Structure 1
Amino acid sequence: MPTNAKAVLVVGGAGFIGSHMVLNLRRAGYQPVVLDNLSKGHRDAVLDAELIVGDMADTALLKELFARYSFAAVMHFASFIEVGESVKFPAKYYQNNVAATVNLIETMVKSGIKHFIFSSTAAVYGEPQYKTITEAHPLAPINPYGRSKRMAEEIIRDFAVSDGLNYAILRYFNAAGADPEGRLRERHEPESHLIPIVLQAAAGQRPNVTIYGDHYPTADGTCIRDYVHVVDLCSAHLLALNALLKGKKQLVCNLGTGHGYSVIQVVNAAKRVTGRPIETVVGQPRPGDPAILVADASLAKQELHWLPRYPDLDPMIEHAWKAMQKPA
């Protein structure tokens, strides 16, 4: 890494999306420094990037980090993200996703760091009021996870007014795929995301895939989601980072492909890609799950000139399957 590389603090950089971001920052010539408490992330996922094990709620640690490095920006990937868990344990989500995020932003702006990129979510919209969701869609989240992210977005805007914070809020739809070279993969413990669960069933690591509800108002009765490749998410973050460093003040964008796939379609695609049988069973719908979430990402394409490299479902599954085949 060149000594003049711009340092970027990647909070939550040992997780699925964060670790891919670290890889892409290095490739783009930045110096990523990872802060992660490893409650969800994996030490080996940062590869050979610098890792500080700690929490964004730790003000003293943050002050020490901001004094030690001249960070060009902070990227925040350290939210808890499970809808069902947020319904059962809302305090956990508000403490981490809201209170700890306030601490991170307050400490960074007091340290003179003005560029912030926030990993947000389509869950801030709630039940869609029209077919593809634009950024103008009302924010009406239906679960504590989505509400915690909406609160964090509002806090970011308030810091922009009070402290001159420059920000990019990137609202993901469903992150999927893996590093095409197989160096990184999705590995939540326990796994809760559909594509890796389906691939675990294909690999014989679980007996079947539970479909949570098959009476939604969709063509096959199962939920529809817009899947976006993790590599494409990272490219949007890089574009947002560059835009902020060049003087952009604020940006709020959806990140998705504009095309939704049902649970059944994902299972069938995984069968096609892997050539393996995959058994399914039908369970009860999960509280807080909208029937359909599909993005209109035209603003990201317009403002950032973002063009997804892997917009189709099959390559996302192929890359995730390839990464699963590599020894842990």
Structure 2
Amino acid sequence: MASAPRGDLGSVLVIGGNGFLGHHIVNQALSSWNCTSVTSIDLRCSRNVNEKAAYHECDITDAAKLTELLQTIRPDVVIHTASPIASGEGKTAHELFRKVNVGGTKAVIEACQKSGVKALVYTSSASVISDNETDLLNADEDYPVIRGVQQKEYYSETKAAAEELVIKANRQESSKLLTTSIRPAGIFGEGDVQTLAGFLRAYKNGKSNVQLGDNTNIFDFTYVGNVAHAHLLAARLLLATAASSIIPPELRARRRRSLLHHQRLARLLLGLCPRRLEGCGQRQGHRGSLADFTGLEHCPRLAERGLLWHHQQASYFHKAEGCGVYHDTVLQHQQGQAGAAV
């Protein structure tokens, strides 16, 4: 006996829907959910085809063609899984990673905003919180994203940049688009041509007797069907949120923090520290600095990496050499002056 559909998703578009993860999302959407239509956009649509879905070939870095397609399809939900294989170094590989992961994702976001899409789910990567040197035990979404010189893998840098674009697009004033990002670990399952294939290749070539370290390291792998299910659950909840007139508590709190942020900046411009901030040892009313205003403090867990916690921006920043201000892309420091994006 077939199980009842899990919920309504309306019109679903899967970008990269002919790929490993993408075609599992297409199949699950058709078999387990109520959908008015399921469509895939991919570079090539010749493999992993479901006869109940529609297919369109398009390079997502072609922003004009992508927008035209979305305005024709008019999806309620877009699930963006497209990405190059995470291997390769050198200029050519790096250019491809940035072109597709960052440029392509930017084009997807803009196409969604122009086409009235309600929900965008982005496939990020668990590697965005790893520097490939430090062990991560029981890590979750509260861990800082590793960027810049701290991030040793350029692929992960571009996935993090794309994720940042997606999250910033959530509830932008000019659009009602809701967004979220999912960070799966190593994916395996039916149709896998990378993870399991690599294991089998190592075994076939007699390389299964190599041990690195004390053989106690662990690594997370996730079954592709579970990852696909997670994307569709995220899409359903974003649609439920879009249909609700209630503003989520965290959004109300963010708006209040934004107002307070501007009030503090106004006082900073008058040369006063707004209040005693965590990590700021000065008394209220002393002559302030940008570091006082932003509320930067040492994170005990990551202090050894030179990272500091930024309260208002809720992210981590690196201390630049020879610079008295802690900064990354949000904070700019030049000789004799400092500025913050507000």
TM-score range, shorter chain: 0.5 to 0.7
8 Å CA contact 1:35, 1:52 repeated in 2 = yes
2:336 corresponds in structure 1 to none
Q: Return the offset for 1:9.
A: 1.0
2:112 to 95, 108, 111: 108
Secondary structure of 1:47's aligned partner? coil
Provide the secondary structure at the position in 2 that maps to 1:225.
coil
- 1:213 Cα deviation after fit: 6.7
From the superposition, tell whether residues 20 and 246 of structure 1 become closer, same or farther in structure 2 (CA, over 3 Å).
Answer: same
Report the CA distance between 1:16 and its aligned residue. 0.4
Q: CA deviation at 1:125?
A: 0.7
- Overall identity of the aligned pairs, in %: 27
Aligned CA distance change for structure 1 residues 208 and 239 (closer, same or farther; 3 Å): same
- Which of 227, 239, 246 is the matching residue for 2:240? 246
Aligned partners of 2:140, 2:155: CA distance in 1, in Å?
20
1:326 corresponding residue in structure 2:
none
Which structure ranks higher in relative contact order (CA pairs < 8 Å, sequence separation ≥ 6)? 1
- CA, structure 1 residues 196+110, in 2 after alignment: closer, same or farther (shift >3 Å)? same
Matched AA of 1:44: R
Q: What per-residue deviation string (whole Å, max 9, x for no partner) do you get for residues 274-304 of structure 1? A: xxxxxxxxxxxxxxxxxxxxxxxxxxxxxxx
Aligned residue in 2 for 1:314? none
User: 2:171·2:177 contact (CA, 8 Å) conserved in 1?
Assistant: yes
- Give the aligned partner of residue 119 of structure 1: 123
Report the CA distance shift for 1:92/1:209 in structure 2 as closer, same or farther (over 3 A).
farther
Match of 1:312?
none
1:309 maps to: none
Which residue number in structure 2 is paired with residue 146 of structure 1? 156
Equivalent residues in 2 for 1:1-328 (5 A)?
6-27=10-31, 28-30=33-35, 31-38=37-44, 43-48=46-51, 49-85=53-89, 89-127=93-131, 128=134, 130-140=136-146, 141-160=151-170, 162=172, 163-178=175-190, 185-187=191-193, 192-193=194-195, 195-199=196-200, 207-208=204-205, 210=207, 214-216=211-213, 218-219=215-216, 224-247=218-241
Partner-residue secondary structure (3-state), 2:12? strand
Residue 225 of structure 1, CA deviation:
2.0
Q: Deviations over 1:233-284 (max 9, x none)?
A: 111111111101100699xxxxxxxxxxxxxxxxxxxxxxxxxxxxxxxxxx
What is the distance in 2 between the residues matched to 1:88 and 1:214? Answer: 32
Unaligned runs of 5+ in 1: 179-184, 251-328
Letter in 1 for 2:212: H
Q: CA RMSD in A?
A: 2.7
Contact 2:119 2:177 in 1 (8 A): yes
Distance change (3 Å), C-alpha of 1:201 and 1:81 = closer
Q: CA distance change for structure 1 residues 103 and 217 in 2, over 3 Å: closer, same or farther?
A: farther
> 1:94-138, CA deviations, whole angstroms, 9 ceiling, x for partnerless residues?
011001110111121022213100001111011445412111112
Task: Write the distance in 1 (CA, Å) between the matches of 2:114 and 2:209.
Answer: 45
Q: Is the 8 A contact 1:83 1:144 kept in 2?
A: no
Give the partner amino acid of 1:215: L
TM-score by length of 1: 0.62
Q: Is the 8 A contact 2:106 2:165 kept in 1?
A: yes
Q: Distance in 2 between matches of 1:86 and 1:173?
A: 24
Q: CA deviation at 1:152?
A: 0.8
- Distance change >3 Å, CA 241–CA 214, structure 1 → 2: same
Post-superposition Cα deviations, 1:134-185, rounded to whole Å, max 9, x if no partner, equal: 111121142111111110111112222533431121100011122xxxxxx2
Give the direction of change, closer, same or farther, for the CA distance of 1:60–1:122 in structure 2 (3 Å limit). Answer: same
CA distance in 2, matches of 1:89, 1:212: 30
What is the CA-CA distance between 1:87 and the residue it aligns to?
8.0
User: What amino acid sits opposite 1:166 in the alignment?
Assistant: L
**Where in structure 2 are there 5+ consecutive unaligned residues?**
1-7, 249-342
Instruction: After TM superposition, give the deviation of residue 29 of structure 1 in Å.
Output: 2.6
Aligned residues: 226
> CA shift at 1:91, angstroms?
1.2
Q: Distance in 2 between matches of 1:86 and 1:172?
A: 25
